[in-house]
């Protein structure tokens, strides 16, 4: 082999070493050229999904034991204005905070999550979080609330939404479906008319609005009562197209906003009303003292001072939730009575009131803006600031 041939063969071998891609039929990748970025993966969807026919038997009143339906959407913008009856609200963004209080203690119980339809990932996110907490019987209704309404399911709203409608003087007919003498006359949501479900066929024509497109909201005695749902179904059959139910009913209203008109007709004297102080969110000192002396069981007293301060003296019957622990315990605050926050000078109690109003606006809370001193025996002196 001559010198020229040897040189040609050597050059060919060198070129093959520098361009290995020629051996596999593809173009060479420049050493400094970055690799193409991988396509972003789609959000994970929970594998165990159900449809509206699975959900409907559980979304009934009286609420069934053994199942919890969870709305994973934001409260004020979504859940309050429309949700599946009996659903509790655990916004996915607040799952870690609210789930311990609102999910069932029995982790084998059926839990159904939903949100705003196939494009909404919130219910799937929450389902995975619940699984990590140890829940073993989880389903996701992926078609969610839009599908629920399309399928003819009753449109539920919260008592917070009813209150907001009242505050803005919205035009609606609020209907109390409970018996008049035994229930409505003893306490009802302000502005509600009495139309007992047992007399619906007889009285509906004269008491419901003539315009069948007008909003009509039905309520009764909470999640144990089906009268509101029954009346709502009857109204829909009459052609009313803007029907809502308020599953929390009068008990939910009373817990959030206090007793309504007629509550004193129960045979006993009405408890003293909360009278607001000069500052927003406060209770007048005189009003507090009257309630504390005459009807202390009608409010929850929450001392937000430190444990050692609490131990040195406080109001009889008060519980201690120090202000630096309150945020973690907001979900555990009771909703059956108004809450009165207090401390020694009004600063921490005001902060507690503001904190709770932002996280759980459905609760009725006030605070004492006052300087208070206690003895170990529970005696006290109080002076408004």
pLDDT band at 22 (very low <50, low <70, confident <90, very high): very low
Q: Once rounded to an integer, what is the mean pLDDT over residues 37-66?
A: 84
The model's pTM is: 0.60
| Cβ-proximal residues to 48 (8 Å cutoff; 6+ apart), any chain | 127, 138, 139, 140
Tell me which of 103-107, 134-138, 264-268, 377-381 is least confident. Answer: 264-268
Q: Once rounded to an integer, what is the mean pLDDT over residues 344-368?
A: 92
CATH topology of domain 285-384: Oxidized Rhodanese; domain 1 (3.40.250)
Determine the pLDDT at residue 96: 96
Determine the pLDDT at residue 271: 64
3-state SS track over the chain: CCHHHHHHHHHHHHHHHHCCHHHHCCCCCCCCCCCCCCCCCCCCCCCCECCHHHHHHHCCCCCCCCEEEEECCCHHHHHCCCECCCCEECCHHHHHHHHHHHCCCCCCCEEEEECCCCCCCHHHHHHHHHHHCCCCCEEEECCHHHHHHHCCCCCECCHHHHHHHHHCCCCCEEEECCCCCCCHHHCCCCCCEECCHHHHHHHHHHHCCCCCCCCEEEECCCCCCCHHHHHHHHHHHCCCCCEEEECCHHHHHHHHHCCCCCHHHHCCCCCCCCCECCCCCEECHHHHHHHHHHCHHHCEEEECCCHHHHHCCCCCCCEECCHHHHHHHHHHCCCCCCEEEECCCCHHHHHHHHHHHHHCCCCCEEECCEEEEECCCCCEEEEEC
Q: Where are the domains of the chain?
A: 52-150, 159-264, 285-384
Could you tell me which residue, 246 or 26, shows the higher pLDDT?
A: 246
Could you tell me which residue, 174 or 20, shows the higher pLDDT?
A: 174
Could you tell me which residue, 379 or 352, shows the higher pLDDT?
A: 352
Q: How many CA atoms lie within 13 A of 65 on its CB side?
A: 2
Determine the pLDDT at residue 270: 53
**What CATH architecture is 52-150?**
3-Layer(aba) Sandwich (3.40)
Q: Once rounded to an integer, what is the mean pLDDT over residues 205-218?
A: 92
Distance of alpha carbon 71 from alpha carbon 80, whole angstroms = 10
Determine the pLDDT at residue 263: 60
Could you tell me which residue, 11 or 108, shows the higher pLDDT?
A: 108
In the chain, the N- to C-terminal Cα span, in Å, equals: 111
Residue pLDDT, tens place only, 136-163: 999 999 999 999 999 999 999 999 999 9
Determine the pLDDT at residue 295: 85
Q: Once rounded to an integer, what is the mean pLDDT over residues 13-41?
A: 41
Q: Is 212 exposed, middle or buried (0-12, 13-18, 19+ CB in 10 A)?
A: middle
Please say whether the structural domain 159-264 has been given the CATH code 3.40.250.10: yes
Determine the pLDDT at residue 267: 36
Residue 238 in tokens: 């009459």
pLDDT band at 379 (very low <50, low <70, confident <90, very high): confident
Distance of alpha carbon 22 from alpha carbon 89, whole angstroms = 61
Residue 336 in tokens: 């059956």
Distances (CA, A) of 383 to 140, 251, 323, 370: 54, 34, 22, 5
Q: Is 202 exposed, middle or buried (0-12, 13-18, 19+ CB in 10 A)?
A: exposed
Determine the pLDDT at residue 82: 97
Judge whether residue 7 has pLDDT over 60: no
Rounded-to-10 torsion of CA 301, 306, 312, 314: -10
Judge whether residue 204 has pLDDT over 90: yes
Determine the pLDDT at residue 43: 64
Determine the pLDDT at residue 294: 85
Tell me which of 143-147, 273-277, 285-289, 375-379 is least confident. Answer: 375-379
Residue 204 in tokens: 């509906």
Residue pLDDT, tens place only, 251-282: 999 999 888 887 643 333 456 788 998 888 99
Residue pLDDT, tens place only, 305-345: 999 999 899 998 889 999 999 998 888 888 888 999 999 99
Distance of alpha carbon 159 from alpha carbon 143, whole angstroms = 25
Can you say whether residue 134 is alpha, beta or left, with left for phi > 0 and alpha for psi between -120 and 50 degrees?
left
Judge whether residue 23 has pLDDT over 60: no
Residue 250 near residue 222 (C-beta atoms within 8 A): yes
Residue pLDDT, tens place only, 121-137: 999 999 999 999 999 99
Same fold, 52-150 and 159-264: yes
Judge whether residue 3 has pLDDT over 90: no
Could you tell me which residue, 362 or 106, shows the higher pLDDT?
A: 106
Determine the pLDDT at residue 119: 94
Determine the pLDDT at residue 242: 96
């Amino acid at each position: 082999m001559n010198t020229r041939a040897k040189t040609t063969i050597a050059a060919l071998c060198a070129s093959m070493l520098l361009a290995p891609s020629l051996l596999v039929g593809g173009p060479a990748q420049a050493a400094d050229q970055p690799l193409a970025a991988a396509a972003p993966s789609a959000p994970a969807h929970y594998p165990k999904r159900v449809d509206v026919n699975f959900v409907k038997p559980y979304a009934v009143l009286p609420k069934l034991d053994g199942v919890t339906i969870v709305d994973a959407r934001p409260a004020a913008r979504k859940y309050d204005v429309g949700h599946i009856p009996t659903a509790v609200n655990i916004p996915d963004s607040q799952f870690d905070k609210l789930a311990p209080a609102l999910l069932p203690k029995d982790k084998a119980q059926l839990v159904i999550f939903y949100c705003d339809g196939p494009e909404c990932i919130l219910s799937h996110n929450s389902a995975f979080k619940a699984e990590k907490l140890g829940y073993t019987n989880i389903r996701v209704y992926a078609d969610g609330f839009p599908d629920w309404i399309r399928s003819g399911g009753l449109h539920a709203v919260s008592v917070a939404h009813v209150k907001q409608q009242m505050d803005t003087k919205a035009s609606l007919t609020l209907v109390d479906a409970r018996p008049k003498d035994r229930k409505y006359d003893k306490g009802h949501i302000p502005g509600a008319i009495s139309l007992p479900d047992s007399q619906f066929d007889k009285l509906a024509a004269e008491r419901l609005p003539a315009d069948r497109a007008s909003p009509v909201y039905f309520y009764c005695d909470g999640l144990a009562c089906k009268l509101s749902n029954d009346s709502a179904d009857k109204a829909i059959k009459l052609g009313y197209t803007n029907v809502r139910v308020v599953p929390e009913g009068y008990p939910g209203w009373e817990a959030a906003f206090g007793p309504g008109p007629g509550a004193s007709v129960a045979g006993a004297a009405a408890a003293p009303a909360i009278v607001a102080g000069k500052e927003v969110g406060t209770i007048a000192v005189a009003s507090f003292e009257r309630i504390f002396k005459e009807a202390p069981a009608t409010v929850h007293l929450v001392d937000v001072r430190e444990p050692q301060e609490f131990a040195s003296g406080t109001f009889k019957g008060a519980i201690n939730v120090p202000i630096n622990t309150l945020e973690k315990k907001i979900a555990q605050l009771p909703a059956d009575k108004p809450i009165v926050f207090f401390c020694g000078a009004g600063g921490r109690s005001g902060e507690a009131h503001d904190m709770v109003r932002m996280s759980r606006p459905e609760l009725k809370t006030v605070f004492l803006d006052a300087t208070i001193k206690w003895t170990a025996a529970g005696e006290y002196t109080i002076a408004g600031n």
